[in-house]
Structure 1
Amino acid sequence: MPFDNERTEFERRKAQALSMGSPKRLAERQAQGILNARERVDRLLDAGSFHEAGLFATSIRPEMRDKTPGDGVVCGFGTMGGRLVGVNAADFTVLGSSSAEVHGKKQGHVRALATRNGFPIVNLMECAGGRIPDIMGAGGIGMSGERAVYRNPRQVPWISAVMGLTYGGGAFTCINSDIVVMRKGAVLAVSSQMVTSVAIGEEEDPQSLGGWRHHSEMTGLIDVLAESDEEAIATVKRALSYLPDHAGALPPRLPPPKDDPARDEAVLTLVPESRAKVYDVRMVIKAVVDADSFFPLKERFAKVAVTALARLGGQVVGIVASNPMFKGGALDPDACDKIASFIVLCDSYNIPLIFLADTPGFLVGAESEKKRLPAKIMTFMSALEQATVPKIALVLRKSYGQAYLNMGGGKADITASWFTGDISFMDPAVAVNVVFAVKREDDPARHAALVAEVAAGTTPYELAAPFLAHSVIDPRDTRRTLISMLQILCRRTTGGLGEHRLANWPHGF
Structure 2
Amino acid sequence: MPCAILTMIEKYGGEIMYIKKVNPYNIEKQHDRDKLHIVERIKYLFDEGSFTESYPEDYQGYDGVITGYGEIFGRRVYFYGQDFTCMGGTFGYHHCQQIIAIINEAIDNRRPIIGIYDGGGARIQEGAASVVGCAEMFKANVKASGYIPQIAIIAGTCAGGAVYSPGLTDFIFTIDKISNMFVTGAKVINKVQGTDYLIEELGGASIHSTISGVAHFCMKDERTCYKKVREFVDILPPCYSESRAYRISRYYEKDLSDIVNLVPKDNQEPYDVVPVIEEILDDFTFIEVHKDFAKNIVVGFGLLGGITVGVVASQTLYKNGSIDMDAADKAARFVQYCDCYNIPIITLADSTGFVMEAEQEHKGLIRHGAKMIHAYANATTIRLVVILRKAYGGPYILNGCRQLGADRHYVWPDAEVAVMKAEGAVAVLSHSQLAGLEGVEKEEFLKEQLESYKEKYMNSNMVLNRGFVDGQIKPQQTREVLYQELIRLIGKPQEEMPQKKHGNMPV
Question: Per the shorter chain, which TM-score range?
Answer: 0.7 to 0.9
Q: In structure 2, what is the Cα distance between the partners aligned to 1:81 and 1:503?
A: 38
Partner of 1:236: 229
Range that drifts further, 85-94 or 452-461: 452-461
| SS state at 2:103 partner | helix
Q: Does 1:220 align with 2:219?
A: no
Partner of 1:247: 240
**CA distances 1:455-493 after superposition (whole Å, capped 9, x unpaired):** 213322321111111110111111111111111211255
Partner of 1:281: 273
Q: Does 1:484 align with 2:484?
A: yes
Contact 2:253 2:480 in 1 (8 A): no
Amino acid at match of 2:207: H
Partner of 1:427: 421
Where in structure 2 are there 5+ consecutive unaligned residues? 8-19
| SS state at 1:318 partner | strand
Deviation, 1:277, is: 1.1
The 3 A distance-change label for structure 1 pair 284 and 56 is same
The 3 A distance-change label for structure 1 pair 502 and 147 is same
The 3 A distance-change label for structure 1 pair 147 and 125 is closer
Q: Does 1:84 align with 2:85?
A: no
Contact 1:344 1:503 in 2 (8 A): no
Contact 1:127 1:170 in 2 (8 A): no
Once the two structures are superposed, the pairs formed by residues 88-103 of structure 1 within 5 Å of their partners are 88-103=80-95
Partner of 1:314: 306
State the TM-score, normalized to the length of structure 2. 0.87
| SS state at 2:142 partner | coil
Partner of 2:460: 460
Q: In structure 2, what is the Cα distance between the partners aligned to 1:50 and 1:433?
A: 67
| SS state at 1:415 partner | strand
Q: In structure 2, what is the Cα distance between the partners aligned to 1:193 and 1:285?
A: 40
The 3 A distance-change label for structure 1 pair 20 and 316 is farther
The 3 A distance-change label for structure 1 pair 447 and 374 is same
Q: In structure 2, what is the Cα distance between the partners aligned to 1:39 and 1:441?
A: 75
Partner of 1:436: 430
Amino acid at match of 2:210: E
Q: In structure 1, what is the Cα distance between the partners aligned to 2:356 and 2:385?
A: 23
Amino acid at match of 1:151: V
Choose from 107, 120, 125 the match for 1:133: 125
**CA distances 1:47-100 after superposition (whole Å, capped 9, x unpaired):** 222221235698xxxxxx8xxx72111111122221111101111111111111
Once the two structures are superposed, the pairs formed by residues 36-435 of structure 1 within 5 Å of their partners are 36-54=37-55, 70-136=62-128, 141=131, 145=135, 149=139, 151-152=142-143, 153-168=145-160, 170-185=162-177, 186-197=179-190, 202-251=195-244, 256=250, 258-261=252-255, 264-410=256-402, 411=404, 412-435=406-429
State the TM-score, normalized to the length of structure 1. 0.87
Q: In structure 1, what is the Cα distance between the partners aligned to 2:328 and 2:22?
A: 44
Amino acid at match of 2:468: L
Range that drifts further, 142-151 or 34-43: 142-151
Amino acid at match of 2:204: G
Contact 1:187 1:211 in 2 (8 A): yes
Once the two structures are superposed, the pairs formed by residues 1-12 of structure 1 within 5 Å of their partners are none
| SS state at 2:313 partner | strand
CA-based RMSD of the aligned residues comes to: 3.2
Contact 1:255 1:313 in 2 (8 A): yes
Count of aligned pairs between the two proteins: 482
Contact 2:4 2:21 in 1 (8 A): no
The 3 A distance-change label for structure 1 pair 236 and 323 is same
Where in structure 1 are there 5+ consecutive unaligned residues? 1-10, 59-64
Deviation, 1:161, is: 0.9
Amino acid at match of 2:142: R
Q: Report sequence identity in percent.
A: 26
Once the two structures are superposed, the pairs formed by residues 497-508 of structure 1 within 5 Å of their partners are none
The 3 A distance-change label for structure 1 pair 361 and 502 is farther
The 3 A distance-change label for structure 1 pair 14 and 459 is closer
